[in-house]
Amino acid sequence: MTHAVIFEKSGSHEIVGFQTEGHAGYADAGSDIVCAAISVLVINTINSVEQFTDSDCTVTQDEENAGIYFRVNSSKNPKELQVLLQSLVLGLSGVAEGNADYLSITFKEV
């Protein structure tokens, strides 16, 4: 199962990062459409943040655990960044809706 954690600033719903970890396990490697959907959403979000915002962010990968950790480093959190991160949550929620055995999403205040 893939576990996604969405980090929100304490006292608000402002997204300040996310983490995904684990293989979905829907099918064998190379045929796992749930894992592919999650990967596309996460990678596209990271690429979009880098391309379309001036936000200072850190991305760390853990290939052994199939993990990606994304964190916003600055307190400035422009609207464009929030739209991209909210779009990720929307996409992941859509995947989880029909595949709850393969993707869990939790929200954590930080």
Enclosing domain of residue 73: 2-109
pLDDT on residue 108: 97
CATH number at residue 47: 3.30.70.1490
pLDDT on residue 48: 97
Amino acid at 57: C
User: Could you tell me which of 88, 105, 7, 78 has the C-alpha nearest to residue 46?
Assistant: 88
Q: How many domains does the chain have?
A: 1
Segment-wise mean pLDDT, segments of 10 residues, the chain, 110 residues: 96 94 86 93 97 94 91 83 97 96 96
**Global pTM value:** 0.91
